[in-house]
Structure 1
């Protein structure tokens, strides 16, 4: 009964920002996948943009950039960050990062076989949607940055991960390895996975758990004081 601080129980709390962002990413990913399967109108500007970008930069440069999304390049970075996180006692965060990376091929491979989209320079081939290199780069570099950020004084890991992912995507598009929608779909698909890693990193901080325990003790103490004072008034 009033007076009670906080939101009334009759009004449920709104979804948090990560949940809303994940829902938006899932909806956009479903829209793009539907367009790819049915040959929808989104494919026309997608193909025109690809034709304007391909060969704009020498292949020797774009291939090097695209190689940043290779498994043998990106995954060892994540493995090193996971080992460091485990050493610092953040096993939950390391586990979440490894699970996110493992889900990438589990999602990408069936989607490639299902959609069977041909490539910009290889119309006779299939299996270009979504981009596996983009998904690998985004997940590996960003998850590694999330694991390292709590232990660095400066916020350089996340901007570095964003730059590496952007360079990978640029190399794929300029070289003609993928359509723009292939890259965008991978970004949308992996964002909810990385939001889960971010939650695990923030939840698994030892300092945060200790602060929560101390706060609980103070809250119980203050509550008992209020009840005693309230009881004195009633008597």
Structure 2
């Protein structure tokens, strides 16, 4: 493999890998595991569904389902070795980063319309911090090259933009829907 970005990618990785204890970086990397990230998204989906955001929930579920459909073919096509396992292949792009970005990002997008202003900001910040922590953990531990992580973020950004659009249109359409009155007219 060659290319203008690979040399800086490898040099940056060599400077960063194992610069933080493995116990810390493994915990950070684990934030991108399905058993960790998916329950967060499922809770947000349940909350949004209860509030009537069917379109947003469906978009978030679809985005999460598309993550492996996007990531796996690229891993097979590139067959890029890992920083600490040059004999293994399938490191580009990072599936853990993609999972974290989509799960936490969609969760934030789903709860934002129903939260107070400061909590909207907190939800967005939490999604960014959790995704960033996952990415940093993966690179520092040596599970992925920096470009693997960046590629996942770039690949999944359109998914989050589609979910954001669905959440906005869902919110607008529900605000136009007349509510039935329970009191006297």
TM-score by length of 2: 0.91
Using the TM superposition, give the Cα deviation of residue 40 of structure 1 relative to its aligned residue in structure 2, in angstroms. Answer: 0.7
Using the TM superposition, give the Cα deviation of residue 129 of structure 1 relative to its aligned residue in structure 2, in angstroms. Answer: 0.3
The residue that corresponds to 2:165 in the other structure is 199
- Whether 1:174 aligns to 2:140 is yes
The residue that corresponds to 1:13 in the other structure is none
* Unaligned segments of structure 1, at least 5 residues: 1-37, 214-235
**Which aligned runs of 4 or more in structure 1 are off by greater than 6 angstroms?**
none
Change in CA separation of 1:90 and 1:50 when aligned onto 2, cut-off 3 Å:
same
The residue that corresponds to 2:54 in the other structure is 91
- Structure showing greater radius of gyration is 1
Using the TM superposition, give the Cα deviation of residue 208 of structure 1 relative to its aligned residue in structure 2, in angstroms. Answer: 6.2
How many residue pairs get aligned? The number is 175
- Whether 1:142 aligns to 2:105 is yes
The 5 Å alignment of 1:72-91 reads 72-91=35-54
Q: Residue by residue, what CA displacement relative to the aligned partner does 1:59-82 show, whole Å, maximum 9, x if unpaired?
A: 000000000000010011101111
Q: Give the counterpart of 2:115 among 118, 143, 152.
A: 152
The residue that corresponds to 1:210 in the other structure is 176
Q: Residue by residue, what CA displacement relative to the aligned partner does 1:104-129 show, whole Å, maximum 9, x if unpaired?
A: 01111111111100000000000000
Equivalent pair of 2:52/2:174 in contact (CA under 8 Å): no
Using the TM superposition, give the Cα deviation of residue 41 of structure 1 relative to its aligned residue in structure 2, in angstroms. Answer: 1.7
Using the TM superposition, give the Cα deviation of residue 39 of structure 1 relative to its aligned residue in structure 2, in angstroms. Answer: 1.4
The 5 Å alignment of 1:17-32 reads none
The residue that corresponds to 2:95 in the other structure is 132
Q: Give the counterpart of 1:121 among 63, 84, 100.
A: 84
Residues in 1 aligned to 2:19 and 2:69: alpha-carbon distance in whole angstroms: 33
Equivalent pair of 2:138/2:144 in contact (CA under 8 Å): yes
* Unaligned segments of structure 2, at least 5 residues: 179-185
Using the TM superposition, give the Cα deviation of residue 206 of structure 1 relative to its aligned residue in structure 2, in angstroms. Answer: 5.0
Using the TM superposition, give the Cα deviation of residue 145 of structure 1 relative to its aligned residue in structure 2, in angstroms. Answer: 0.3
Residues in 2 aligned to 1:206 and 1:129: alpha-carbon distance in whole angstroms: 38
Using the TM superposition, give the Cα deviation of residue 200 of structure 1 relative to its aligned residue in structure 2, in angstroms. Answer: 0.4
Residues in 2 aligned to 1:130 and 1:80: alpha-carbon distance in whole angstroms: 27
Equivalent pair of 2:30/2:36 in contact (CA under 8 Å): yes
* SS across alignment from 1:156: helix
TM-score by length of 1: 0.72
Using the TM superposition, give the Cα deviation of residue 207 of structure 1 relative to its aligned residue in structure 2, in angstroms. Answer: 6.6
Residues in 2 aligned to 1:181 and 1:139: alpha-carbon distance in whole angstroms: 18
